[in-house]
Amino acid sequence: RSHIPLSGRNPALQEALGIRPHVLVMNKMDLADPRRQPVSAGAGPGGGQRWCHRQPCPCSLQVVPMVASLVAEGPRYHRAESSEHNILVIGVPNVGKSSLINSLRRLHLKKGKATAVGGEPGVTKAVLSRIQVCEKPLMYLVDTPGVLPPRLGDVEMGMKLALCGAIRDHLVGEDVMADYLLYTLNKQQQFGYVQRYRLGQPCDHIEALLKHVALTQGRTQRVKVLTGTGNVNMMMLNYPAAAYEFLRDFRAGRLGRVTLD
């Protein structure tokens, strides 16, 4: 049985979910290093927990049968007066909860998206109405805002969550996140960024990398300088924009398949 690192899950939910059947969906496994992926599949400690790998189609095909099986096998969920399945979708921010619901809806009902999605945390701001995703069995999913522990005692865990988009970038700082990302890539000997940015060799200093990215990607900004003879407009390298470019390339998989844990 494989163990999922705590940085990929909200530990506060484990106690609540441990006694209930649930499906754990691991999203975007195509972006993970295949040498560091969990490989087990089967019942876990949650009394019916399943591991569901890869995204989007194989995962979507498995979710509905898994949920139907878990509900049917759980005596406390048998309700003669109502045969419908009502499922709550929960997880850390920006892991694809809304995308999963839309994918299931397209797959089983041939309908368009029912809930908004985005590439940053906080798109879903409130618990929405039930969204039908399947006719047989009749199944409704409820989308929820992402949840995190109120405090992250482990700084490194927080950095990993931020790199994955679970925390808004500006709350941590794009430059700090870019520095940690470069450290992690070098530590794991993941040198896809060298080829991506056409560097001669791996780089140990984030300032040098961001300068190169800003120059090659044209990330500049106009700055007004006050002088004794008047105002002068100067073009300067935009390091925050270069840091964001670095983070965006990582999240899109353009720096290679990387697993932070």
The model's pLDDT over 126-145, given as tens digits with 9 standing for 90+, comes to: 566 778 878 887 888 887 88
Long-range contacts of 188-191 (CB under 8 A, 24+ apart): 188/33, 188/258, 190/33, 190/255, 190/256, 190/258
Higher pLDDT, 213 or 55: 213
pLDDT at 50: 37
Percent of the chain with pLDDT over 70: 70
pTM for this predicted structure:
0.68
140 vs 180: CA distance, rounded Å: 40
If one counts every other C-beta atom within 10 angstroms of the C-beta of residue 78, the result is 10
**Confidence category of residue 218, pLDDT binned at 50, 70, 90:** confident
One-letter identity of residue 19:
I
The residues, any chain, with a CB within 8 Å of residue 184's CB and separated by 6 or more, are 163, 190, 258, 260
40 has a pLDDT exceeding 50: no
pLDDT at 255: 94
Q: What is the mean pLDDT of residues 200-227?
A: 87
The model's pLDDT over 14-26, given as tens digits with 9 standing for 90+, comes to: 666 666 677 777 7
**Confidence category of residue 249, pLDDT binned at 50, 70, 90:** very high
Q: What is the mean pLDDT of residues 52-75?
A: 64
54 has a pLDDT exceeding 50: no
Does residue 137 contact residue 85 with C-beta atoms inside 8 Å? yes
Does residue 63 contact residue 85 with C-beta atoms inside 8 Å? no
**Confidence category of residue 120, pLDDT binned at 50, 70, 90:** low
45 has a pLDDT exceeding 50: no
The model's pLDDT over 141-168, given as tens digits with 9 standing for 90+, comes to: 887 887 777 777 778 888 988 898 888 8
**Secondary structure class of 74 (helix, strand, coil):** coil
pLDDT at 209: 95
Q: What is the mean pLDDT of residues 29-42?
A: 62
pLDDT at 2: 44
- Which domains does the chain show, CATH number per domain? 11-143 (no CATH), 173-252 (1.10.1580)
103 has a pLDDT exceeding 60: yes
If one counts every other C-beta atom within 10 angstroms of the C-beta of residue 243, the result is 25
